[in-house]
Structure 1
Amino acid sequence: MRLFDTHCHLDFDIFDRNLESLISECRLLGVDTFLIPGTRVSAISKILTIQAQYRGVYVAFGIHPFFIDENSIDNLAVLDAELSTHHGAEGLVALGEIGLDKFSHVDYVLQKEVFEAQLRLADVYDLPVVLHNRKSDQVMLDLLDRYSIRAGVVHAFSGSVEIAREFISRGLKLGIGGVITWSSAHKVRSMVEQLPMEAIVLETDSPDMSPQWLKGEANTPKSVPRIAENLAQLKGISVSDVAEITYSNACELFGICDAQSSEKLGSDWL
């Protein structure tokens, strides 16, 4: 059984001292593939170093809405240059983590400007996007419709079934993680129960969004197997099926390995 953590910030300082042992422990649990999303241009060098050091690690470049500041417009040029330099390299598979967040301290107008500029880059470089979205569903959907985004994932999706349909109809996957294990997450679990498996990828958002058993502690990709178990219970299928389907979905999304063809989503769901 192979598992793919499609969203883990292994470049954050909290992992510096034990990253090698952490990745080894993850592999023993079946978690052998990881995507590190970028959060700012200054982190690109570090995530590329990690990617080069460990098998099964892939990366994305992007400016996260939490890290947007007065320098971000200039940093877009740096991001463009980095994308140009590394485009086509095996390790770079997406543009992200990018998006909109109504809870952020960053001016929302500036967020939209930087987000839209990064969507243009994703279009230019033909890369899938890793999206951060909080309280911005319709604005994000409208902006996505302006560009030829071929694929992507809505990270940590916890919206309604109706909004899920909108994202899926645009060719996006939905990232599902530790929230489904929270005892208070009744609405999220109900929504996930209704999602087609072909639209789901697994993630942790390590070191954040810890599952129920790690509340108050740092999250790691070692949580993926138990998240998969929780998803299997919600969907009424085996854990091995969850692993196989979500791994295939992620591989197809990021174009990094041979993914088994998935059944088309039924038009009755969309």
Structure 2
Amino acid sequence: MTLRVMDSHCHLQDEDFSPDRDAVYQRAIQEGVGVIVPGYTMDSSEKAVAFAKSHDAAWALVGVHPHDSRLFSEDPDLHQLRDWVKNQQRVVGIGEIGLDYHYDHSPRDVQRRVFEAQLALARDLGVPASVHTREAEEDTLAIIRSVGWKMGVIHCFTGTAAFAEAVLDLGWHISFSGAITFKSAHDLRAVVPLVPMNRLLIETDSPYLSPVPWRGQRNEPLRVIRVAEVVAAQKNCLTQQVFDNTLSNTLSLFSVSPNIG
């Protein structure tokens, strides 16, 4: 098959998909939807690698989310992340990493240290990073600038126009999720036209953030099509243009081939 669109961030390794994981995946690929599956703990990263190895239209990222950065150890965890990237063909980057000052499940100084260490690893290995940031925009930008790595994406973007401009100035990509379909997301939708087509990605962040009209239900990769439709409406273009451009951007950023099987 040939991919026609990519869900650049979905957690198909999650327990939420245990009852019907392969059925969810099959629904996606039947419509030409490929998937990038990020880890967020060491265990979920290992599961992401295993899923990608056994599914032709799936690729993995490995990393530790800021919620769990208090559990991160540079030895052995950083070494294990390096090993996965270097030795597993289906691992195409570092993620999901970043900062989250909304919940503060890990101390902020620990979050910053672990984020910087993992982003530096991405730089040293020459692979992209998928970054989560919530109520931590200034520190996120500061660490990206400090590490000096321009190959990455702010996933599930929910920030301001000013933050988007700063991210783009750093050479990074921006990914929109089903959050742009929510009735209250007027300001977020207004950011979409500011993101050039060559820096734009789309995602579901499954099993979270199911777009309208499925809000409140478990999300799945197939619904990235709905995200594309809303992006197209904001950009006043055809949905197919969003498919084509975001597919090309995702394949390029993560060095993935569009031809499967």
Fold equivalence (TM over 0.5): yes
Deviation sequence 1:57-105 (CA, Å, 0-9, x none): 1111100011222x3135x532323422541532111101000011123
2:37 corresponding residue in structure 1: 36
2:14 corresponding residue in structure 1: 12
Deviation sequence 1:182-235 (CA, Å, 0-9, x none): 111100011112221211101000001121212221111111111111111111
**% identical aligned pairs:** 30
Among 13, 20, 23, the alignment partner of 1:21 is 23
Which amino acid letter does the alignment assign opposite residue 29 of structure 1?
E
Deviation sequence 1:123-145 (CA, Å, 0-9, x none): 22121110000111111111111
Cα offset, 1:179, TM superposition: 1.1
Q: Which runs of 5+ in 2 are unaligned?
A: none
For the aligned residues, what is the CA RMSD? 1.7
CA distance in 1, matches of 2:50, 2:88: 14
2:171 corresponding residue in structure 1: 171
Cα offset, 1:53, TM superposition: 1.1
Deviation sequence 1:140-160 (CA, Å, 0-9, x none): 111111223131100111212
- Aligned pairs (5 A) from 1:186-265: 186-257=186-257
Q: How many residues align?
A: 256
CA distance in 2, matches of 1:249, 1:92: 17
Please tell me whether residue 140 in structure 1 is matched to residue 140 in structure 2.
Answer: yes
Give the TM-score, by structure 1 length: 0.89
1:89 corresponding residue in structure 2: 88
CA distance in 1, matches of 2:113, 2:201: 28
Which amino acid letter does the alignment assign opposite residue 77 of structure 1?
P
Q: Which runs of 5+ in 1 are unaligned?
A: 259-270
CA distance in 2, matches of 1:19, 1:100: 29
Cα offset, 1:107, TM superposition: 1.1
CA distance in 1, matches of 2:46, 2:210: 27
CA distance in 2, matches of 1:56, 1:186: 33
Verify the 8 A CA contact 1:38 1:61 in the aligned structure 2.
yes
1:102 corresponding residue in structure 2: 101
